[in-house]
Amino acid sequence: MNGLKTALLLGLLSGLLIVGGRLVAGENGMLIALFIAIGMNFFSYFFSDKIALASSGAVRVNDTQNPEVFWRLAKIVKPLCDRMGLPMPKLWVIPEQAPNAFATGRNPAHASVAVTAGLLGLMEDREIEGVIAHELGHVKNRDILTSSIAATIASAITWAAQMAFFFGGRRDDDEGGNPIAALAMMLLAPIAAGLIQMAISRTREFSADAASAQYTGNPDELVSALRKLEAYSKRIPMDVSPSMSHMYIIQPLSGKSLARLFSTHPPTEERIARLLSLRRS
Active-site residues, by number, are 135
Q: What distance in Å separates the CA atoms of residue 157 and residue 165, rounded to the nearest whole number?
A: 13
Backbone angles phi, psi at 266, to 5 degrees: -70, 160
| Amino acid residing at 215 | Y
* Rounded alpha-carbon distances, angstroms, from residue 270 to 52, 131, 159, 275, 276: 27, 17, 34, 9, 10
Pairing outcome for strands 112-116 and 59-61: unpaired
158 Cα distance to chain centroid = 19
Q: Which residues contact 120 (CB under 8 A, 6 or more apart)?
A: 69, 72, 93, 128
Packing angle, helices 268-280 and 179-216, rounded to 10: 40
Contacts of 158 (CB under 8 A, 6+ apart): 37, 190, 193
CA angle 8/12/161 to nearest 5° reads: 155
Q: What are the C-alpha distances in Å from 11 to residues 16, 187, 260?
A: 9, 21, 22
Q: Which of 118, 133, 132 is nearest to 238 (CA)?
A: 118
